[in-house]
Amino acid sequence: MSSKEPYIVGITGGSGSGKTIFLKELSRKFDEGQICIISQDNYYAPIEQQLKDENGVENFDIPQSIDNHAFVRDIKTLKKGESVQRKEYMFNNPGAIPADLTFSHAPIIVVEGIFVLSDPAVSELVDLKIFIEAKDHIRLKRRIIRDNEERGYDLNDVLYRYEKHVTPTYEKYVEPYKQTSDLIIPNNWGFDQALLVVEAFLKSKLTD
């Protein structure tokens, strides 16, 4: 497969559906250099450029919050066999120190984010579309834990954003693309069997 273009997998799902942990487990199944995972989470525009809602709260859950031009550019760069440098995005957590990220060309490239299927510029680059879903109350619980630990949001802030930003975005930009996905993975209590299926399929691509 080294002489061919990389096989590109797009993974989406609602906030808190478990995309990040799925990708961490998936990456552990491959040797170094076999797979590259690149996330939209590191392509948010600077916080001072984020649009605010009617209450003055930055809305990270709309397509305009992403620097999609840079995201598409970097996917195409990886596809051509080159590496990409990117600074880790820390949202509004002033205590966190962003890492310098390097994404290297690999025969399998996984692009992840809530807008990877709804945005045509990204979706048209994807060979396999995977949708990870979970029940709403489970996604909310995961979001509360994540946003408190990683982004410094208190409970009221998380609940406000979930109601005003996350839920409308899921209904408009995420859920409609579940039916056009190639694979739907329920992740309410685990995804072990689905992970094995995806691993086996992608490893078959390494020897095509």
Taking the chain (208 residues) in consecutive chunks of 10 residues, what is each chunk's mean pLDDT?
80 92 96 95 91 92 94 96 91 75 96 94 97 93 82 84 94 94 94 96 93
Pairing status of strand 100-103 against strand 84-87? antiparallel
- Residue 90's pLDDT is 77
pTM given for the model: 0.89
| Residue 206 within a domain | no
| Residue 46 within a domain | yes
What's the farthest any 2 CA atoms get from each other in the chain?
A: 53
Which phi and psi angles does 4 have, rounded to 5°? Answer: -100, 165
Q: Of 123, 94, 135, which Cα lies nearest the Cα of 9?
A: 123
Domain count, the chain: 1
Tell me the CB-side half-sphere exposure of residue 32, using CA atoms within 13 A.
0
- Residue 170's pLDDT is 94
| Residue 141 within a domain | yes
Q: Of 149, 170, 168, 148, which Cα lies nearest the Cα of 157?
A: 148
Q: Of 44, 51, 109, 99, which Cα lies nearest the Cα of 76?
A: 109
| Residue 160 within a domain | yes
204 Cα distance to chain centroid: 23
Could you list the residue range(s) of the whole structural domain that residue 147 is in?
Answer: 7-199
- Residue 3's pLDDT is 56
| Residue 74 within a domain | yes
- Residue 2's pLDDT is 47
| Residue 1 within a domain | no
Domain containing 166 — which CATH number?
A: 3.40.50.300
| Residue 207 within a domain | no
- Residue 94's pLDDT is 65
| Residue 39 within a domain | yes
